[in-house]
Amino acid sequence: MNQREFEEYFKDRYQKAVEWYDTKSIWNKRVYYAFQFSIIVISAITPVLALLELKWPTTIAASLVAIGMGIIKFMKLEELWINYRTICETLKKEPYLMQAELSDYALSDDKNKLFVNRVESLISREHTFWLFTITPKKEK
Protein backbone atom coordinates (compact mmCIF):
# COMPACT_ATOMS: atom_id res chain seq x y z
CA MET A 1 0.00 0.00 0.00
CA ASN A 2 1.59 3.28 -1.07
CA GLN A 3 1.36 6.53 0.93
CA ARG A 4 -1.31 8.10 -1.31
CA GLU A 5 -3.58 5.07 -0.98
CA PHE A 6 -3.08 5.08 2.77
CA GLU A 7 -3.92 8.77 3.05
CA GLU A 8 -7.11 8.21 1.03
CA TYR A 9 -8.05 5.29 3.25
CA PHE A 10 -7.31 7.31 6.37
CA LYS A 11 -9.46 10.24 5.21
CA ASP A 12 -12.28 8.39 3.45
CA ARG A 13 -12.68 5.31 5.63
CA TYR A 14 -10.94 5.67 8.98
CA GLN A 15 -11.87 9.26 9.88
CA LYS A 16 -15.45 8.82 8.68
CA ALA A 17 -15.80 5.64 10.74
CA VAL A 18 -14.51 7.40 13.87
CA GLU A 19 -16.91 10.31 13.29
CA TRP A 20 -19.84 7.94 12.69
CA TYR A 21 -19.22 5.92 15.85
CA ASP A 22 -18.70 9.10 17.86
CA THR A 23 -21.96 10.63 16.59
CA LYS A 24 -23.94 7.41 17.17
CA SER A 25 -22.49 7.02 20.66
CA ILE A 26 -23.43 10.58 21.62
CA TRP A 27 -26.95 10.19 20.20
CA ASN A 28 -27.61 6.89 21.97
CA LYS A 29 -26.26 8.25 25.27
CA ARG A 30 -28.42 11.39 25.09
CA VAL A 31 -31.59 9.48 24.22
CA TYR A 32 -30.86 6.87 26.91
CA TYR A 33 -30.30 9.59 29.53
CA ALA A 34 -33.45 11.46 28.47
CA PHE A 35 -35.57 8.33 28.82
CA GLN A 36 -33.94 7.34 32.11
CA PHE A 37 -34.37 10.81 33.60
CA SER A 38 -38.01 10.91 32.51
CA ILE A 39 -38.65 7.47 33.96
CA ILE A 40 -37.11 8.46 37.29
CA VAL A 41 -39.18 11.64 37.52
CA ILE A 42 -42.44 9.99 36.48
CA SER A 43 -41.78 7.05 38.82
CA ALA A 44 -41.31 9.47 41.71
CA ILE A 45 -44.53 11.33 40.89
CA THR A 46 -46.69 8.21 40.44
CA PRO A 47 -47.05 7.35 44.17
CA VAL A 48 -48.01 10.96 44.93
CA LEU A 49 -50.71 10.82 42.27
CA ALA A 50 -51.93 7.52 43.73
CA LEU A 51 -51.95 8.98 47.24
CA LEU A 52 -54.07 11.87 45.98
CA GLU A 53 -56.38 9.24 44.47
CA LEU A 54 -56.06 10.65 40.96
CA LYS A 55 -56.86 7.54 38.97
CA TRP A 56 -56.28 8.70 35.39
CA PRO A 57 -53.05 10.64 36.03
CA THR A 58 -51.74 7.71 38.08
CA THR A 59 -52.60 5.25 35.33
CA ILE A 60 -51.04 7.45 32.66
CA ALA A 61 -47.87 7.97 34.71
CA ALA A 62 -47.49 4.24 35.34
CA SER A 63 -48.07 3.54 31.64
CA LEU A 64 -45.43 6.11 30.64
CA VAL A 65 -42.89 4.42 32.90
CA ALA A 66 -43.64 1.05 31.30
CA ILE A 67 -43.47 2.52 27.80
CA GLY A 68 -40.19 4.30 28.55
CA MET A 69 -38.57 1.16 29.93
CA GLY A 70 -39.86 -0.83 26.98
CA ILE A 71 -38.38 1.62 24.49
CA ILE A 72 -35.02 1.59 26.26
CA LYS A 73 -34.93 -2.19 26.16
CA PHE A 74 -36.26 -2.47 22.62
CA MET A 75 -33.87 0.10 21.15
CA LYS A 76 -30.96 -1.20 23.26
CA LEU A 77 -29.81 2.36 23.79
CA GLU A 78 -27.38 1.65 26.62
CA GLU A 79 -25.73 -1.31 24.90
CA LEU A 80 -25.33 0.59 21.63
CA TRP A 81 -24.05 3.72 23.36
CA ILE A 82 -21.35 1.76 25.19
CA ASN A 83 -20.48 -0.34 22.14
CA TYR A 84 -20.17 2.67 19.83
CA ARG A 85 -18.11 4.59 22.39
CA THR A 86 -15.80 1.60 22.89
CA ILE A 87 -15.15 1.09 19.18
CA CYS A 88 -14.69 4.84 18.66
CA GLU A 89 -12.08 5.12 21.40
CA THR A 90 -10.34 1.93 20.23
CA LEU A 91 -10.15 3.30 16.69
CA LYS A 92 -8.90 6.67 17.93
CA LYS A 93 -5.86 5.14 19.62
CA GLU A 94 -4.75 3.19 16.54
CA PRO A 95 -2.86 6.08 14.85
CA TYR A 96 -0.96 6.70 18.10
CA LEU A 97 0.04 3.05 18.35
CA MET A 98 1.22 3.18 14.76
CA GLN A 99 3.16 6.42 15.21
CA ALA A 100 4.85 5.21 18.40
CA GLU A 101 5.48 1.80 16.81
CA LEU A 102 3.85 -0.02 19.71
CA SER A 103 2.13 -3.39 19.77
CA ASP A 104 2.20 -5.15 16.38
CA TYR A 105 3.57 -2.02 14.69
CA ALA A 106 6.98 -2.54 16.27
CA LEU A 107 7.50 -5.69 14.21
CA SER A 108 5.75 -4.67 10.99
CA ASP A 109 7.49 -3.86 7.73
CA ASP A 110 4.38 -2.18 6.29
CA LYS A 111 2.77 -0.15 9.07
CA ASN A 112 0.15 1.36 6.75
CA LYS A 113 -1.07 -2.06 5.68
CA LEU A 114 -1.13 -3.25 9.28
CA PHE A 115 -3.10 -0.13 10.28
CA VAL A 116 -5.73 -0.82 7.60
CA ASN A 117 -5.91 -4.46 8.61
CA ARG A 118 -6.37 -3.64 12.30
CA VAL A 119 -8.98 -0.94 11.63
CA GLU A 120 -10.98 -3.21 9.33
CA SER A 121 -10.75 -6.00 11.89
CA LEU A 122 -12.09 -3.70 14.63
CA ILE A 123 -14.96 -2.50 12.44
CA SER A 124 -15.79 -6.06 11.44
CA ARG A 125 -15.79 -7.18 15.07
CA GLU A 126 -18.09 -4.28 15.95
CA HIS A 127 -20.49 -5.26 13.16
CA THR A 128 -20.62 -8.80 14.53
CA PHE A 129 -21.28 -7.47 18.05
CA TRP A 130 -24.01 -5.21 16.63
CA LEU A 131 -25.72 -8.19 15.00
CA PHE A 132 -25.70 -10.10 18.29
CA THR A 133 -26.97 -7.04 20.17
CA ILE A 134 -29.77 -6.19 17.76
CA THR A 135 -30.89 -9.68 16.71
CA PRO A 136 -33.57 -11.01 19.05
CA LYS A 137 -32.45 -13.95 21.12
CA LYS A 138 -34.22 -17.19 20.31
CA GLU A 139 -35.64 -19.07 23.23
CA LYS A 140 -34.61 -22.68 23.72
- CB-CB neighbours of 114 under 10 Å: 19
Q: What is the pLDDT of residue 113?
A: 95
* pLDDT at site 14: 97
- Greater pLDDT, 10 or 129: 10
pLDDT tens profile 87-135:
999 999 999 999 999 989 999 999 999 999 999 999 998 888 887 777 7
Query: Residue 16 has what pLDDT?
Result: 97
Q: Is the pLDDT of residue 137 over 80?
A: no
pLDDT tens readout for residues 20-68: 999 999 999 999 999 999 999 999 999 999 999 999 999 999 999 999 9
Given a cut of 80, is residue 138 above it in pLDDT?
A: no
Q: Quote the pLDDT of residue 139.
A: 62
